[in-house]
Structure 1
Amino acid sequence: MSETLPTVLDIEASGFGRGSYPIEVGIARADGSCCAFLIQPQQEWTHWDPKAELLHGISRERLLQEGYPVRQVAQWLNDELSSLGKAYSDSWGYDNTWLSLLFHHAGMLPRFRLEALRILLSEEQQALWSSTKESVIDESDINRHRAGEDARLLQLTYQRTRQLTTR
């Protein structure tokens, strides 16, 4: 039984809360491939939480040197996701806020919706989620707290919980 995987989006940010902004966006596609882009901070994006940097390992200097302009990242997301119409996130509240900020500064509208990954999960999947995610982390070489790989981790966890609950 081959099932299409949900397309998952993840965002890493400069910190949490007021003043934070997206620094990396990644997606895991339905075929299991993933891709991510660093984002150049806008001039007014000055908030930087050193604790967040410790998690994702991305310095502000690296963003300035290697990041892509917000408009280019927003266009890439629209190109990738508009035909699907939606992508899923495990941190919808944060990711949707950062996605809105990205598109606002790009002067564009997203041509897709971001939805909460949990709406795809049965009660059984939700009950297994945390332990299954830990197992997937232990078994793989996923680089945690990087947007593309975290999106893939969520996708693999979804897939495993589906397999465990549909036997």
Structure 2
Amino acid sequence: MTLPTLLDIEASGFGRGSYPIEIGLARADGSCCAFLVQPLEEWVHWDPKAELLHGISRARLMREGLPIAQVARWLNDELSSVGVAYSDSWGYDNTWLSLLFHHAGMLPAFRLETLRILLDDGQLALWHATREALVNELGIHRHRAGEDARLLQLTYLRTRELADSP
């Protein structure tokens, strides 16, 4: 079974003024990666509650984050041949992705779709319990973009298997 490519974004907060700080991918082959994003000077919104969730400080982003144009190029390089990536938080992730590409002066070479369109009713019914079981089983650190993308992919796979079994 070919796995869908999953994308996850951690951000400076939610709502107006928030921006992407980490972008993670889980590729069709099951490998995953993530990059920190260096905020632009005008990106000043910072929600301490969001930092408590993801554990990434603004100072760390300034030190270790990649420039947005480099992140946008990387995303296009990774996803142009795939054509589509899926997100479980499409409304937020698509907004942050659009912001990133806009400020990078580039267009995305792929589409971001909601993960929901890949899930049947059986998978949806099993989703939350399966995800939590995987978190406990694998000791996944939640709210880091690469690990969250991989968790979504593994949850997709296991709910497919469970929904398909007699």
Q: How is 1:11-22 mapped onto 2 (pairs within 5 angstroms)?
A: 11-22=9-20
Q: How is 1:14-163 mapped onto 2 (pairs within 5 angstroms)?
A: 14-163=12-161
Q: Matches of 2:147 and 2:31 in 1, distance apart?
A: 10
Cα offset, 1:142, TM superposition: 1.4
Q: Matches of 1:121 and 1:14 in 2, distance apart?
A: 29
User: TM-score, length-normalised on structure 1?
Assistant: 0.98
Aligned partner of 2:5: which letter?
A: T
Aligned partner of 2:33: which letter?
A: C
Aligned partner of 2:117: which letter?
A: I
Cα offset, 1:79, TM superposition: 0.2
* SS of residue paired to 1:9: strand
Cα offset, 1:141, TM superposition: 2.1
Q: Matches of 2:145 and 2:67 in 1, distance apart?
A: 17
* SS of residue paired to 1:84: coil
Cα offset, 1:44, TM superposition: 0.6
Q: Matches of 1:29 and 1:84 in 2, distance apart?
A: 9
Q: Matches of 2:120 and 2:52 in 1, distance apart?
A: 34
Aligned partner of 1:92: which letter?
A: W
Cα offset, 1:95, TM superposition: 0.1
Q: CA RMSD in A?
A: 0.4
Percent identical among aligned pairs is 77
- Which whole-Å deviations, capped at 9, do the CAs of 1:100-138 have from their partners, x for residues lacking one? 000001000000000000100001100110111111111
Aligned partner of 2:108: which letter?
A: P
Q: How many residues align?
A: 165
- Which whole-Å deviations, capped at 9, do the CAs of 1:33-55 have from their partners, x for residues lacking one? 10000000001100000000000
* SS of residue paired to 1:159: helix
Q: Matches of 1:94 and 1:85 in 2, distance apart?
A: 20
Q: Matches of 1:117 and 1:145 in 2, distance apart?
A: 17
Q: Matches of 2:111 and 2:139 in 1, distance apart?
A: 30
* SS of residue paired to 2:109: coil
Cα offset, 1:143, TM superposition: 1.4
User: TM-score, length-normalised on structure 2?
Assistant: 0.99
